């Protein structure tokens, strides 16, 4: 193979999805295959790009003004990949994306587009099942963490920090654990920190729990620097049991583990699929038990240490971008020309 494979990847946002699903894997593929791949990351499609690339990756887009030109690139001979880490067909009404993505003509357009791509990149087996009726060539490429951006400051809080972190799209998930969170916030043996941000109009926390410390939103590029200073000891990950959440990824578990925190998570979806209860984390099956499960880990240092050691090993082996970038590399090679093994 004398010429490099030219890849252009269009990012869908400037946040975590772009980083984990475009930037990090493409960076490692390019870094380790400089003689094989020529990779460009772009934020918009322009006419001068048509006909110049062998592979086009489009992330999280649904508008015709974006889809049309990449389909034209496919007509010119490029292999077209759609990267998506959410279930676009079952967005609940409480999710901010419901209004823009739920109209029938939008849904029909997404399905038509997916049926025309050469491959889909998704995060979970559950997502593969969702989209399998529209695309036969689907690659499950799990989210993976990169130790290079995981800054670690010494824990300096006087009490253990129990933390939840996430965006306003998770308020419905938080509600299932509200009573437990309220008890955690009143427990004098710990500090409960909620990284849920403030309402711009009222300046009140998006998810208000009396006694908890609320942290403000920060741009994604500052997220890990900020997270490293939270001093998290136990990370919480409640997830409402619905079809949309079933195909979510285990990213919170990965992030908590990388910051040396034990995860207490809902026994559902990505956490049920990833965590072995009492071995790599703690699973909560009854939403009345959030306080008791968290307190159990806090009171048992041997259990805490065992779980954290096992979780670190799991993440290092299965969700480490230094290793998993090879899955992306292999997928690109197969899509480009039916190559089954990396070179």
Residue 143 vs residue 50, higher pLDDT: 143
Q: pTM of the entire structure? A: 0.92
Report yes or no: 58 and 10 within 8 Å, Cβ to Cβ: yes
First-to-last alpha carbon distance for the chain, in angstroms, is 10
pLDDT of residue 1: 46
Task: Look at the chain and report how many structural domains it folds into.
Answer: 2
The per-residue pLDDT for 89 is 95
Whether 279 maps to a domain, the answer reads: yes
Same domain membership, residue 159 and residue 205: yes
Residue 15: pLDDT band with limits 50, 70, 90: confident
Closest CA to 66 of 56, 76, 52: 56
Residue 44, pLDDT score:
86
Whether 342 maps to a domain, the answer reads no
Tell me: do 188 and 235 sit in the same domain: yes
Contact of 300 with 289, CB cutoff 8 Å: no
Res. 339: pLDDT tops 60: no
- The per-residue pLDDT for 132 is 96
- Measured CA to CA, the distance from residue 119 to residue 109 in angstroms comes to 17
Cα–Cα distance list, 156 to 41, 262, 263, 303 (Å): 39, 18, 20, 22
pLDDT over 80 (residue 163): yes
Residue 342 binned pLDDT confidence (cut-offs 50, 70, 90):
very low
Which residue bears the tokens 């959410």? 86
- In this predicted model, what pLDDT tens digit does every residue of 70-119 receive, in sequence order? 999 999 999 999 999 999 999 999 888 899 999 999 999 999 999 999 99
Q: What is the CATH number of the domain that holds 168?
A: 3.40.50.2000
Q: Same domain, yes or no, for 248 and 198?
A: yes
Q: Are residues 161 and 306 in the same domain?
A: yes
Whether the Cβ atoms of residue 181 and residue 205 lie closer than 8 Å to each other:
no
pLDDT, position 264: 98
- Report the DSSP pairing between strands 161-165 and 138-140: unpaired
User: What is the structure's pLDDT at 249?
Assistant: 95
Shared domain check, 209 and 105: no
Average pLDDT over the chain reads: 92
Whole domain around residue 231: which residue ranges?
A: 147-318
- With bands split at pLDDT 50, 70 and 90, how would you rate the model's confidence at 341? very low
The confidence band for 62, taking pLDDT boundaries of 50, 70 and 90, is confident
Clarify whether residues 87 and 228 are in a common domain. no
Q: What is the share, in percent, of the chain residues with pLDDT greater than 70?
A: 98
| Residues 170 and 297 reside in one and the same domain | yes
Instruction: Examine the domain organization and report whether 240 and 198 are in the same domain.
Output: yes
Residues 153 and 237 in one domain: yes
169, 164, 167, 166: which is closest to 94 by C-alpha? 169
pLDDT category, 152, cuts 50, 70, 90? confident
Task: Please compute the mean of the pLDDT values over residues 313-339 and round it to a whole number.
Answer: 93
pLDDT of 189 strictly over 70 = yes
Say if residue 331 is in the same domain as residue 227. Answer: no
Query: Is residue 158 located within the same domain as residue 114?
Result: no
Is residue 80 in a domain?
yes
Confidence check: pLDDT of 140 > 70? yes
Asked if residue 243 belongs to a domain, the reply is yes
Quickly list DSSP for 101-139: H-SHHHHHHHHHHHTTSSEEEESSHHHHHHHTTT-S-EE
Residues 126, 155, single domain; the answer is no
Residue 222 located in a structural domain: yes
């Amino acid at each position: 193979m004398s010429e490099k494979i030219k890849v252009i990847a269009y990012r869908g946002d400037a946040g975590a999805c772009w980083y984990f699903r475009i930037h990090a894997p493409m960076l490692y593929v390019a870094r380790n295959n400089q003689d094989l791949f020529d990779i460009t990351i772009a934020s918009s499609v322009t006419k001068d790009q048509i006909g110049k690339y062998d592979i086009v990756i489009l992330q999280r887009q649904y508008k015709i003004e974006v889809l049309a030109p990449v389909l034209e690139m496919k007509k010119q001979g490029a292999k077209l990949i759609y990267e998506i880490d959410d279930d676009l067909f079952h967005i609940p009404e409480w999710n901010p994306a419901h209004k823009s993505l739920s109209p029938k003509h939008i849904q029909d357009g997404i399905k038509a587009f997916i049926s025309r791509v050469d491959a889909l990149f998704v995060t979970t087996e559950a997502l593969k099942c969702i989209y399998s009726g529209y695309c036969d060539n689907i690659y499950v490429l799990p989210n993976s963490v990169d130790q290079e951006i995981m800054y670690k400051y010494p824990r300096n809080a006087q009490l253990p920090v129990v933390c939840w972190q996430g965006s306003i799209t998770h308020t419905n998930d938080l509600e299932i654990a509200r009573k437990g969170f309220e008890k955690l916030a009143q427990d004098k043996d710990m500090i409960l920190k909620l990284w849920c941000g403030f309402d711009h109009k009222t300046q009140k926390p998006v998810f208000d729990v009396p006694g908890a410390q609320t942290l403000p939103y920060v741009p994604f590029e500052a997220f890990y620097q900020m997270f490293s200073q939270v001093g998290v000891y136990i990370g919480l990950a409640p997830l409402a049991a619905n079809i949309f959440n079933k195909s979510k990824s285990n990213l919170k578990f990965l992030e908590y583990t990388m910051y040396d925190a034990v995860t207490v998570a809902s026994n559902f979806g990505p956490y049920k699929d990833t965590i072995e209860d009492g071995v790599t984390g703690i699973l909560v099956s009854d939403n009345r038990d959030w306080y008791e499960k968290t307190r159990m880990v806090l009171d048992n240092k041997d259990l805490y240490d065992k779980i954290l050691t096992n979780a670190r090993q799991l993440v290092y082996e299965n969700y480490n971008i230094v290793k998993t970038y090879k899955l992306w590399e292999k997928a690109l090679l197969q899509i480009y020309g039916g190559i089954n093994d990396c070179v």
